Structure 1
């Protein structure tokens, strides 16, 4: 006998579900019991998990989800925001590294680019954590500038 609430299989004659405790009525087929909700994402994952994964490896996973996702605007928004946000931050880090290396040999002010690089890195890690949490909670939290652009791209 299958529970109509959670779909767990129970012994014949049981009055209550062994998994969730719900009262058992007429037996149902396993295919009818607690039908699994359809995934909100065309990747087969729930939209909040796919949204979180858009940020895991920065702009790289953003590109992966832009290519894979076909129907969820939520996932596409997070993919585009990941590309824009972490793409720009990666370029800024590269530029600061080049400036730091070049000025190391030319001037005593090389440490300035190094300090800026550390600040950008801290901002990057902070945004990375916040954006993954927001996506997992199902929120479309927008990074200034990048969020509006991502929203336009996701609507296409």
Structure 2
């Protein structure tokens, strides 16, 4: 795997699900980038929805804040892993990301 793939891999996490979607569409021929872009799209998409929903429910707003903190930690870990050329799979989501990235080639 080249430096370009590693760069695209960590950049797919930089802007959350938006950059995940962009790199999924632009770099669909590279398996490494496809995996990280798919994982970014699934994880940060789900976290965006969950934090938004919890922020509007009285007495449960703290859950949204906790999810935002977890998202931030995962964001850093995932970018570093991709920059180092590693396939770091999040529990549950990583399996789906790998499966869908391998079957989806655009």
Find out whether 1:58 has 2:16 as its counterpart. Answer: yes
* Structure with larger RCO (C-alpha < 8 A, sep 6+): 2
Deviation at 1:114, TM superposition (A): 2.1
Counterpart of 2:29 (choices 64, 68, 71) is 71
Q: RMSD of the alignment, in Å?
A: 1.4
Residues 1-156 of structure 1 mapped to structure 2, 5 A cutoff:
40=2, 46-100=4-58, 110=59, 113-156=60-103
C-alpha distance in structure 2 between counterparts of 1:71 and 1:95, whole Å: 35
Structure 1 outlier segments of 4+, above 3 Å: none
| Deviations, residues 86-125 of structure 1 (Å, cap 9, x unaligned) | 011011101101213xxxxxxxxx2xx1221211111010
Deviation at 1:70, TM superposition (A): 2.9
Q: Which runs of 5+ in 1 are unaligned?
A: 1-38, 101-109
> TM-score scaled by structure 1?
0.63
| Deviations, residues 65-91 of structure 1 (Å, cap 9, x unaligned) | 111013210000000000010011011
SS at match of 2:57: helix
C-alpha distance in structure 1 between counterparts of 2:75 and 2:102, whole Å: 23
SS at match of 1:99: coil
SS at match of 1:46: helix
SS at match of 2:7: helix
